[in-house]
Amino acid sequence: MATAVYPGSFDPITCGHLDIIRRAACQFDRVIIAVLNNTSKKPMFSVQERVQLIRKSIADLPNCSAEYFDGLLVDFVHQKQSHTVVKGLRAISDFEYEFQMALLNKKMAPDVETVFMVTNANYSYISSSIVKEIASLGGDFSDLVPAEIYDDVKLKIKEGR
Ligand code: PNS
């Protein structure tokens, strides 16, 4: 059974992320969305909230699940008996950083492959940061996040005011 791990910060999950998840779900038996419990960044949503938002968004995808991880991604991948990391590439600007991470992960865990999926052109301009910026400035972000989590993002912005 081929299991892929799709890692990220997901603060919050966007339509671009969900597009990658849906496509990965067709390519692998199981997809685990792995939310980094990053202590250095100051996220808008706690790691538990980010996992919950993803779970709401993937409710119709029976072979996908979401959880959070600490530490090295490759350790988490091994823990899940997986050999594949899936990443989405939006633009050339993503490439340098993703290439560096893929090479480092390969050095630490030669049995783990990083598979890049090119983002659907409709979503290539979306990022979690853009969603947070538009939402906090009162703009319409309904096309940028999964419908299931729109109200949660709105509420979080309201609470933060
Ligand atoms: O959505 P992001 O913030 O671009 O995701 C980055 C992520 C979570 C994939 C990356 O920071 C990561 O894998 N962190 C875990 C720690 C680790 O393994 N670092 C070494 C990778 S080179």
With bands split at pLDDT 50, 70 and 90, how would you rate the model's confidence at 101?
A: very high
C-beta neighbour count of 71 within 10 angstroms? 10
pLDDT of residue 20: 97
Q: Which residues line ligand 1 (CB under 6 A)?
A: 7-9, 36, 72-73, 101, 104-105
Cis? peptide before 12, omega within 30° of 0:
yes
Q: Which atom in ligand 1 lies closest to the alpha carbon of residue 104? A: 22
pLDDT of residue 91: 85
The residues that are catalytic are: 17, 41, 90, 128
Query: Residue 2 phi/psi, 5° resolution?
Result: -90, 120
User: Among 6, 14, 36, 86, which residue has the most ligand 1 atoms within 8 Å of its CB, making it the best to mutate?
Assistant: 36
Nearest partner of 126 among 1, 10, 5, judged by Cα: 10
Residue pLDDT, tens place only, 123-160: 999 999 999 999 999 999 999 999 999 999 999 999 98
Percent above pLDDT 70 for the chain:
99
Nearest partner of 67 among 5, 152, 1, 18, judged by Cα: 5
Residue pLDDT, tens place only, 18-40: 999 999 999 999 999 999 997 77
Answer yes or no: are the C-beta atoms of 71 and 37 closer than 8 Å: no
